[in-house]
């Protein structure tokens, strides 16, 4: 039995216990003989890389998917057969997905009492009763919200509370939360944790799925780790570190060192002076040197991506100036930016970075097709093969055949294809917007190794991320944006990572 497993007399406290859960999708084994248990009132974390089986396990427990024959599911000690989403909710199993599945145009009260008004015979809606129900549940959570206001007027943290309140109206006994702190400030995260503690005091169990390992280890009592569809083990959170948890999730040890260098004497590649665009950002000024990795962080909505869009010619600034290698930049489009020597890896690689149905080869070559033309202006297959082969080798992209659809690759390898596509343009400036979104912990290390190698060759890199540890261990400097303005600059190693995280999430 792995550390942290519960046995003996504690079995009666199980709100959920599943055994021998397996799931196969089209020949792919998403889960293999997994056991998982949660105790009444426990705060539990389900950890693992993307594709490890976390979502599949949650969907089985919530009745969305049926497990393979041989699985045993027990809720509050009673065996459950033929679980469906309806029966799961009746048992008290609630899942709050990252998108929250709320209704922006409806009021807070209507969202909270929504499920309680489903089913049964048609009847007049009692709005007073809905507001009373909402107020009673919010009071139970220790939170005051305007029950009559449309949900769209509330921030993401308040919407999280509404989703939790709706689960309580449905008499939840077990609540799964998918990435609940991804868009929250530190203060909002603390408030959410207070709500979770209130759930615990009422005997309601909470299962966190989160990529913020420090927060997971703070709030959780036990951590179940999955890897490649199999259970690695169950561990007391108090006995884990972030590095140890990452190692359990990936099967590899990850070195966390500060690599910041002082490159102020290197040539300036990009100069930005007083850049502003109404409603998006204001008075943005900085310099980026050859070979430097300049990190930009801040909460979602801070204006980071909006600045990147202007640097790549997608939007025009209202005022201010940009210079690349000492020459003024006047960009009318992204084509102008590419010709000037700027490459941009977007946060959304699925819709903006790649053409999923097309081949790996064509995705790599698409930015430089004009260089691959032969006689009569037709694409030269030999030139394309050489180009693609060179980048596949250099970036260590794991592929089957270049002709395979790029959609067949893992997230990490897809991200390398996006890098290859833009590096083929031989840029002077590479903008990376959240380069590891949707990429496993193990694959992230490989991508950052490539980024550091590119910087060592003299490429100037602007890297945007809300993952402060990623910037701290890979960037040479870190700029902090808030509400469209630059409000701080940090040197990794000189400023402790805790100070940077506190400033960003303040």
63 in the same domain as 20? yes
Structural domain total, the chain:
3
Per the CB < 8 A criterion, the answer to whether 28 and 67 are in contact is no
Q: Considering the domain boundaries, does residue 325 fall inside one?
A: no
177 in the same domain as 88? yes
233 in the same domain as 143? no
125 in the same domain as 245? no
Our measurement of the distance from residue 49's CA atom to the centroid of its chain's CA atoms, rounded to an integer in Å, reads: 11
pLDDT digits (tens, 9 = 90+) for 305-329: 999 999 999 999 999 999 999 999 9
- How far is 489 from 151, CA to CA, in rounded Å? 35
- How far is 112 from 100, CA to CA, in rounded Å? 12
For 9-45, give the secondary structure using H, E and C: HHHHHEEEEEEEEEEEECCEEEEEEEEEEEECCCEEE
Q: What is the dihedral of CA 470, 476, 482, 485, to 10 degrees?
A: -150
132 in the same domain as 81? no
| Dihedral class, residue 411 (left if φ above 0, else alpha if ψ from -120 to 50, else beta) | alpha
Per the CB < 8 A criterion, the answer to whether 45 and 208 are in contact is yes
- Identify the band that residue 205 occupies on the pLDDT scale cut at 50, 70 and 90: very high
165 in the same domain as 207? no
Phi, psi of 40 (to 5 degrees): -60, 130
> Average pLDDT for residues 476-481, to the nearest whole number?
97
pLDDT of residue 349: 63
Q: Considering the domain boundaries, does residue 337 fall inside one?
A: no
Distance from the first to the final alpha carbon of the chain: 41
Q: Considering the domain boundaries, does residue 82 fall inside one?
A: yes
CATH number for the domain that contains residue 177: 3.40.50.300
When mean pLDDT is compared across 26-40, 58-72, 424-438, the lowest value belongs to 424-438
pLDDT digits (tens, 9 = 90+) for 347-364: 766 666 777 778 999 888
User: At which of 130, 146, 169 does a domain end?
Assistant: 169
Count Cβ atoms within 10 A of the Cβ of residue 139 and give its class: 0-12 exposed, 13-18 middle, 19 or more buried.
exposed
List Cβ neighbours of 31 (8 Å cut-off, separation of 6 or more).
21, 22, 23, 53, 56, 57, 60, 67, 229, 230
Per the CB < 8 A criterion, the answer to whether 344 and 308 are in contact is yes
218 in the same domain as 78? yes
Q: Considering the domain boundaries, does residue 334 fall inside one?
A: no
193 in the same domain as 147? no
CA angle 355/305/163 to nearest 5° reads 90
Q: Considering the domain boundaries, does residue 469 fall inside one?
A: no
177 in the same domain as 30? yes
Residue ranges with strand state E in 123-229: 174-178, 205-209, 222-227
pLDDT digits (tens, 9 = 90+) for 259-277: 899 999 999 999 999 999 9
pLDDT digits (tens, 9 = 90+) for 138-177: 988 888 899 999 999 988 888 889 999 988 888 899 999 9
- Identify the band that residue 415 occupies on the pLDDT scale cut at 50, 70 and 90: confident
**What is the residue range of 407's domain?**
352-418
Phi, psi of 466 (to 5 degrees): -100, 5
Grouping H, G, I as helix, E, B as strand and the rest as coil, residue 123 is coil
User: At which of 122, 141, 169 does a domain end?
Assistant: 169
């Amino acid at each position: 039995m792995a550390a942290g497993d519960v046995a003996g007399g504690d079995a009666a406290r199980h709100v959920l216990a599943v055994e021998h859960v397996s799931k196969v999708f089209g020949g792919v084994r998403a889960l293999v003989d997994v056991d998982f248990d949660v105790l009444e009132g426990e705060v539990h974390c389900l950890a693992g890389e993307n594709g490890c089986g976390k979502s599949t396990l949650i969907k089985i427990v919530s009745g969305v998917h049926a497990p393979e024959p041989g699985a045993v599911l027990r809720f509050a000690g009673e065996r459950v057969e033929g679980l469906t989403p309806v029966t799961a909710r009746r048992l008290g199993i609630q899942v709050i997905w990252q998108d929250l599945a709320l209704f922006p145009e409806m009021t807070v009260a209507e969202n909270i009492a929504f499920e309680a008004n489903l089913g049964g015979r048609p009847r007049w809606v009692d709005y007073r009763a809905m507001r009373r129900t909402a107020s009673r549940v919010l009071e139970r959570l220790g939170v005051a919200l305007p029950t009559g206001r449309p949900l769209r007027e509330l921030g993401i943290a308040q919407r999280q509370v509404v989703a939790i309140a709706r689960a309580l109206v449905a008499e939840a006994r077990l609540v799964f939360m998918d990435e609940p702190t991804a868009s929250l400030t530190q203060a909002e995260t603390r408030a959410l944790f207070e709500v979770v503690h209130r759930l615990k005091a009422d005997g309601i169990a909470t299962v966190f799925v989160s990529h913020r390992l420090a927060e997971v280890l703070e709030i959780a009592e036990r951590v179940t780790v999955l890897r490649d569809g199999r259970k690695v083990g169950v561990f007391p959170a108090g006995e884990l570190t972030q590095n140890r948890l990452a190692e359990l999730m990936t099967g590899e040890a990850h070195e966390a060192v500060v690599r910041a260098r002082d490159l102020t004497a290197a040539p300036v590649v990009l100069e930005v002076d007083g850049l502003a665009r109404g409603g998006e950002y204001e008075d943005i000024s900085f310099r980026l040197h050859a070979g430097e990795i300049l990190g930009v962080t801040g909460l979602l909505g801070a204006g980071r991506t909006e600045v990147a869009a202007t640097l790549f010619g997608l939007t025009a600034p209202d005022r201010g100036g940009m210079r690349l290698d000492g020459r003024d930049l006047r960009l009318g489009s992204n084509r102008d930016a590419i010709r000037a020597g700027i490459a941009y890896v977007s946060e959304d690689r699925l819709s903006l970075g790649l053409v999923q149905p097309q081949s790996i080869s064509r995705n790599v070559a698409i930015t430089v097709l004009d260089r691959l033309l032969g006689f009569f202006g037709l694409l030269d297959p030999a030139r394309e093969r050489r180009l693609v082969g060179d980048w596949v080798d250099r970036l260590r992209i794991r592929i089957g055949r270049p002709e395979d659809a790029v959609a067949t690759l893992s997230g990490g390898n897809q991200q390398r294809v996006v890098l290859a596509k833009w590096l083929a343009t031989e840029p002077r400036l590479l903008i990376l917007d959240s380069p590891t979104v949707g990429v496993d912990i193990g694959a992230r290390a490989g991508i950052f190794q490539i980024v550091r190698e590119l910087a060592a060759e003299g490429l100037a890199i602007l890297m945007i991320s809300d993952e402060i540890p990623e910037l701290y261990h890979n960037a040479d400097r870190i700029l902090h944006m808030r509400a469209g303005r630059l409000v701080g600059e940090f040197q990794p190693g000189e400023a402790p990572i805790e100070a940077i995280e506190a400033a960003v999430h303040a």
